[in-house]
Amino acid sequence: MASLIEPRTLKGFRDYPPALMIPRERVLQTARNVYRSYGFAPIDTPAMEYAEVLLGKGGEESDRIVYRFKDHGDRDVALRFDLTVPFARFAAQHINTLGTPFKRYAMGPVWRGENTSAGRYREFWQCDFDTIGTTSNAADIEVALVIYSLFEALDFKNYKIRINNRLVLNGVLLSIGIVDKSAEVLRAIDKLPKIGWDGVKDELEEVVKLDASESYRLLQFADWHKNDDSKEVLAFLDSFGSPVELGVRRLRELLDTIRTAGFDTSKIQIDPSIARGLDYYTGTIFETFLTDLPQIGSVCSGGRYDNLASLYTKQVLPGVGASLGVDRLLAAMEELKHPWLTGAATPAPVLVLNLDMARLGDYQKLAQSLRVAGIGTEVFPEAKKLGAQFQYAEKRGHKLAVIAGDAEFEANTVKIKDLTRREEQVIPVADLAVATRAVLDRP
């Protein structure tokens, strides 16, 4: 006999069995529904592209992590490492046909050959939405509304959308007189929630070489991230005067619009400390924290950029968007015992037991009457002992069993069993869907 191949996955890659995949599909479907409800349209781009297109020029860091190889035609190709670069290429190629403003979402796996660690994989899903072709603050404001609607739809109660504007940060640096060191300064400030005031002070003075008064003024500014009252924060920011004026105006407009639109502004926090990387974002910045699990970091982040596709086209395409970190969010949901992680390994709440193979057509008929009523229903394929079938139902997480033998068929009835409460009832066949729905709707 031929020797077996050991069944295994690559380091940093993983299988999704049903109990993990069912909540992931629910999260993706929820994001899809929310994005669509705001008019974002789906697009898809290839997993593989010319390496030149994905890597541009330079990008040593990208080069190291990107899966890159020669294809059968000796082309230098690579797997996408995010959905932003392919979107930029897509926009450069198609925007004249599509027209602006253009609102898109994209969902799919991306690949990075990075070091793996807990919760960090080499294949993971991104789930982005963006509006391009407009500088209107309306698009920025809508990003906040989409994130808000998304986390409500994801059934989270405790979350905070933190918002800043790079124009404010730049204005503050200007007013302190340290614009030339902005990259290092922003990098240090970004760490405030993680390493605290003293940690950032050390970095600002020892690495960035600010003097004590500069670092003090900067930290005093950034420390306003603790303040929950966005109106107070905005009033404080006003004190920096004209250098921050435009940024503050856009933040204030955002807050006012969200309030007028009827959303709960206590979910929104103006946070002067968030910077999100160095180069990419040029305006509004978004982060989203689960307040019961802040240590996992932002689960939905984004911002405004001046020009999406400058590598590929002279056409200037400003835009704003954000990305849901699906895998990080799922890890958080697991830790928070989110109600969507039920452990069930079946999407069908009902199992029709099989007492007699000759009754298969009747069982499928019963099942079909539930399916057309929108209730997922499986028929057990073999007439095994009932004990084994109940065990199967328990393992899979079915909630209700339908049981019918000769006696029931004779009487035109059917037995249903609530598998959670272990309660049975005999009902007319005609009532099956209604009675099943009633059992499934029990709290």
Q: Which of residues 377-406 bind a second copy (CB under 8 A)?
A: 377-382, 392, 395-396
Give, as one character, the DSSP assignment of residue 323: E
End-to-end CA distance of the chain: 54
Question: Taking CB under 8 A as the rule, does residue 38 contact a second copy?
Answer: yes
Q: Is 307 in the site for a second copy (CB under 8 A)?
A: no
Place of tokens 């409460």: 421
Nearest to 149 by CA among 323, 253, 286, 30: 30
Q: Quick one: which of 228, 232, 238, 256 contacts a second copy (CB under 8 A)?
A: 256
Of the candidate residues 81, 90, 240, 305, the single one contacting a second copy (CB under 8 A): 90
Single residue of 62, 82, 120, 134 touching a second copy by CB under 8 A: 134
Q: Contact at 8 Å (CB) between 113 and 124?
A: no
Examine residue 425 and tell whether it contacts a second copy (CB under 8 A).
Answer: no
Give the residue, chosen from 123, 184, 245, 306, that forms a contact with a second copy under the rule CB under 8 A.
123
Beta carbon of residue 421, minimum distance to a second copy (angstroms, whole number): 22
φ, ψ dihedrals at 291, nearest 5° = -70, -15
**Joined tokens for residue 430:** 């005609």
Rule CB under 8 A: say whether 260 interacts with a second copy: yes
Q: For a second copy, give the closer residue by CB, 262 or 443.
A: 262
Of 156, 168, 161, nearest in space to 143 by CA: 161
Stretch that binds a second copy, among 139-147, 173-181, 203-211, 418-426 (CB under 8 A): 139-147
Q: How far is the CB of 263 from a second copy (least distance, A)?
A: 8
Cβ at position 287, least distance to a second copy in Å: 21
Min CB(133)–a second copy separation in Å: 9
Q: Which residues pair with 417 in a beta bridge?
A: 401, 424
Count of other CB atoms within 10 angstroms of residue 265 = 17
Distances (CA, A) of 68 to 49, 62, 162: 10, 11, 36
In the bound complex, what is the minimum distance in angstroms from residue 274's beta carbon to a second copy? 24
309 touches a second copy (CB under 8 A): yes
Cα 349 to Cα 148, 235, 400, 415, distances in angstroms: 30, 53, 6, 16
Minimum CB–partner distance for residue 283 and a second copy (Å): 14
Among positions 347-366, residues that touch a second copy (CB under 8 A) are: 347-348, 351, 354, 357, 360-362, 364-365
Stretch near a second copy under the rule CB under 8 A, chosen from 69-77, 168-176, 330-338, 403-411: 69-77
* Overall size of the chain counted in residues: 443
Among 74, 157, 206, 262, binds a second copy (CB under 8 A): 262
Rounded to an integer, what distance in angstroms lies between the CA atom of residue 281 and that of residue 164?
Answer: 11
Cβ proximity to a second copy: between 53 and 435 the closer is: 53
Q: Which helix (H) or strand (E) is 252 found in, with range?
A: helix 245-260
CB-nearer residue toward a second copy: 69 or 197: 69
- In terms of CB distance, is 129 or 240 closer to a second copy? 129
Nearest to 131 by CA among 102, 94, 153: 102
Q: Which one, 223 or 362, has the nearer CB to a second copy?
A: 362
Question: Whose Cβ is closer to a second copy: residue 93's or residue 175's?
Answer: 93
Q: What is the dihedral of CA 360, 365, 368, 369, to 10 degrees?
A: -150
Amino acid at 64: R
Instruction: Please give the residues from 5 up to 24 whose contact with a second copy meets the rule CB under 8 A.
Output: 5-11, 13-18, 21-22, 24
